[in-house]
Structure 1
Amino acid sequence: MASKQFTLDPGARALLHDLGISLARVLRRAQLPAGLFAHGQVTMTTEEYYRFWDALNTEAADPDLAVRIGRALSVEAFNPPIFAALCSADLRTAAERIAAFKPLIGPVNLDVTADRSGLTITVHWPDGPTPPPLLVAAELAFWTALARIGTRREVNPTHVAMRHAPEPSPESTSYFGTPIHEGEADTVTFSAEDASLPFLTEDEAMWNFFAPELRRRLSELEASATTADRVRAALHEHLPAGESSINAVAAQLMLSPRTLQRQLQAEGTSYQAVLSDTREKLARRYLADPALPTSQVAYLLAYDDTNSFYRAFRRWTGLTPEAARNTDYLTPA
């Protein structure tokens, strides 16, 4: 679950300046305080964040604004979590690090899936209003910009999809190297080769400098989240890596397994219940993609074998995964 409060870095002010867009007019359209950026770090709710992006879109009146944002991005415009990610060895590592700290910079969670077929980054938005299309497109453009800045190569995604894809645009297709397709989720995929290209910005010493402060800020942010929410977020990271144990999740949350189970019981649930619920929701999302074979879905959910996944899925739904692909059950919520 994404945070209800998050920070918008002052670097956004420089980005809008580079785009030739008046920050004052955007804030006025969004009904946000004129002095919002006057004191450094900006705290916003999800609803305010969406208003900001809607206002930016209206003010710019440019259907290719997301591409312009991608091209205007620079290291100077990045906030600490993203700047720190550029210290990573490659795009895959950077994506995993940003996924861990993304709640610090937006109302969104990320799923990062890496295998021999490539690196796929899926963006999950909070329940409630649909995010502005410009925000979604800009999020996908960001990953392309990050890959290019880190590698100093013209890296192109192999696939880009949005749940509400815009009309095809030569400018957008040129930027991504592929059209934005209508899809079941907001995703961007890079080839395995490009995902492993070395980042020329790699600086592990700088990462070690940033990481403790980012973890501290994330802990403060997560303090208001329920334990079940935090377990779900951790499972989104661990399951694609083949790990589903309470020990691994408890270690990430800096709790003992016993304490974690006790906190979940106080919330009226259990680790096994949260694990099962998370797997079912992810299974529904993964199976909606016809390109993913059932065996791959089982792997992404950290099942030891496909038969174990079949049994669990039938327990949840009364259907086999193949039968579910032909029903409304897999329609994303």
Structure 2
Amino acid sequence: MDTSRTFSLFMATDVACRILGVDPKVMLETAGLGTLPYGRTELRGTAQQYFDCWNTMEVLSPRPDYVLHLGITISRGPVIPVFFTLSCAPDVETGLMRLAQFKSLLGPTLMRVFRDGTLLRLEFDSVDARVPMPPSFGALQLVVAVEKIRGAAAHLVCPVAAGFDGPEEERRMIAGHLGVMPERSHAAYVAFSAEDAKRRFISENPALWADIEADLKLQMVAQSDRWPIAERVRGALVDLMPAGRTGAEDVAIALGISRSTLQRRLREDGTSYQEVLDATRRDMAIRYLTKTTLRADEIANVLAYRDANSFSRSFRKWTGQAPVAFRQGMERPTTWTGEAE
């Protein structure tokens, strides 16, 4: 196992802490990670550091039902591109198989999807066998998975079995939401009936999936020098933007190179960091405006703009139109060519 592999701490510091009302700086300090430059650049940590953050949030959380509250809020709250792998799919099984490919982009978690007799079984585990996944973190995965499936299917899908390595009190805490009492098991898992495995999603969106899949694959290979530097930058940006990070320094850290090396290599390829950033934002903005129902302010947030007005100014510069007008124009024949008028 590559113990040097790191994972974005965004889901812990920027999502979970905010939802639970925990000060991220206090959480990092309590977890022994106070030296990390929170607020100045993207934070990444090993599997052990990631789970240390989770264990610390568990202690600091003011809510006894923090797992259930956090899981439901994550599922219904912030737009996280990785979850489009599930919602864009035609059915439950296809969506879970797609999500399993890219789950590690959200943290040090392996996700396995397989048939267990007539049931569809979904298991979660640590990416590092030497660093066990906290039981409550496994419980969170179950809540998020079930809630996401229900949202995409517009149906109260209930698993037929579930389990994680937690005491009875913790298992009862999520039993009512899941619709089944989780058993005490080493593996964090949830199983669905054959009927629910094939249940159709009302959110199916094959056009958006084609684009999302390409972006997520770029994220997975961003660390490879075999790819052109501009493509690696785009992959890193897709990963960083939901965390509000678009700076060259953040991207350089994500790619494991210095900022000066990043800028030099982009110049050698005939482009610049700002050009790649603008092109990435423009392409993603057009995609979300034409292939989703996300509001302009939600898109602005995904693309790491300060607010919807800043996003609108940039979009006008790229296309000559405001985002809402562009979306309305794409719903009827248009002559837009990609150039600002």
Provide TM-score, normalisation by structure 2: 0.58
Please give the alpha-carbon distance, in whole angstroms, between the structure 1 residues aligned to 2:83 and 2:14.
Answer: 16
Q: Which amino acid aligns with 1:81?
A: V
Q: 1:114·1:120 contact (CA, 8 Å) conserved in 2? A: yes
| 1:57-206 alignment, distance < 5 Å | 57-60=58-61, 62-74=63-75, 76-114=77-115, 117-125=118-126, 126-167=128-169, 170-206=172-208
Q: 2:161·2:190 contact (CA, 8 Å) conserved in 1? A: yes
- What does residue 57 of structure 2 align with? 56
Deviation at 1:218, TM superposition (A): 1.3
- What does residue 21 of structure 1 align with? 22
Deviation at 1:49, TM superposition (A): 0.3
| DSSP 3-state at the match of 1:189 | strand
Q: 2:162·2:191 contact (CA, 8 Å) conserved in 1? A: yes
* Residues 1:151 and 1:114: Cα distance change in structure 2 (over 3 Å): same
Deviation at 1:163, TM superposition (A): 3.5
Please give the alpha-carbon distance, in whole angstroms, between the structure 2 residues aligned to 1:95 and 1:2.
Answer: 26
* Residues 1:47 and 1:19: Cα distance change in structure 2 (over 3 Å): same
Q: 2:91·2:199 contact (CA, 8 Å) conserved in 1? A: yes
| DSSP 3-state at the match of 1:27 | helix
| 1:140-289 alignment, distance < 5 Å | 140-167=142-169, 170-220=172-222
- What does residue 228 of structure 2 align with? none
Q: Which amino acid aligns with 2:192?
A: F
Give the number of the structure with larger relative contact order, counting CA–CA contacts within 8 Å between residues 6 or more apart. 1
Deviation at 1:84, TM superposition (A): 3.4
Deviation at 1:38, TM superposition (A): 4.9
Q: Which runs of 5+ in 2 are unaligned?
A: 226-341
Give the total of aligned pairs: 223
Please give the alpha-carbon distance, in whole angstroms, between the structure 2 residues aligned to 1:212 and 1:110.
Answer: 20
Q: Which amino acid aligns with 2:219?
A: R
Q: 1:96·1:112 contact (CA, 8 Å) conserved in 2? A: yes
Q: Which amino acid aligns with 2:151?
A: I
Q: Which runs of 5+ in 1 are unaligned?
A: 224-333
Please give the alpha-carbon distance, in whole angstroms, between the structure 2 residues aligned to 1:67 and 1:188.
Answer: 15
| DSSP 3-state at the match of 2:169 | coil
* Residues 1:168 and 1:216: Cα distance change in structure 2 (over 3 Å): closer
* Residues 1:86 and 1:35: Cα distance change in structure 2 (over 3 Å): farther
Deviation at 1:52, TM superposition (A): 0.8
Q: Which amino acid aligns with 1:129?
A: V
Q: Which amino acid aligns with 2:68?
A: V
Deviation at 1:152, TM superposition (A): 2.2
Q: Which amino acid aligns with 1:124?
A: D
Deviation at 1:124, TM superposition (A): 2.5
Deviation at 1:215, TM superposition (A): 1.0
Q: 1:15·1:77 contact (CA, 8 Å) conserved in 2? A: no
Q: Which amino acid aligns with 2:179?
A: G
Provide TM-score, normalisation by structure 1: 0.59
Deviation at 1:11, TM superposition (A): 8.6
Please give the alpha-carbon distance, in whole angstroms, between the structure 2 residues aligned to 1:62 and 1:169.
Answer: 16
